[in-house]
Amino acid sequence: MQEDEAPEVPARDSSLIRPYARTGGRTAARHDLRLETLLSTDEDRLYRANNDQAAMMRLCLQPRSVAEISALMKIPLGVTRVLLSDLITLNLVAVHEPGDKPTIALLERVLSGLRKL
């Protein structure tokens, strides 16, 4: 090694930091979003969203649960809730609370989403 060369420093793994940086460090959602809560949107609202929001909103073009969105976006559930809460506040997605009894199809979709986490 020559005198003027700096020793190589291994790069830090920042994969744990990035999702929370997307929320601006916020960890609490403004809305109470359960795993099975369904969200949807339409294409007309996509133009009002920034890139990160639009990616999440594209998943909501068909009704999806919070758990599914988290699994498909590959981000922690807490971060997903904060980001979805922002979309709700901006009126970019609609919330569909499940009825008294969830359907078998919904439960299977939630289970599939959880397995992907």
The per-residue pLDDT for range 84-102, each reduced to its tens digit, is 998 899 899 998 876 656 6
Does the structure show a pLDDT above 60 at 67? yes
77-86 average pLDDT score: 88
**Confidence band (pLDDT; 50, 70, 90) for 68?**
very high
CA gap 58, 62 in Å, rounded: 8
Q: Which helix (H) or strand (E) holds 108?
A: helix 104-116
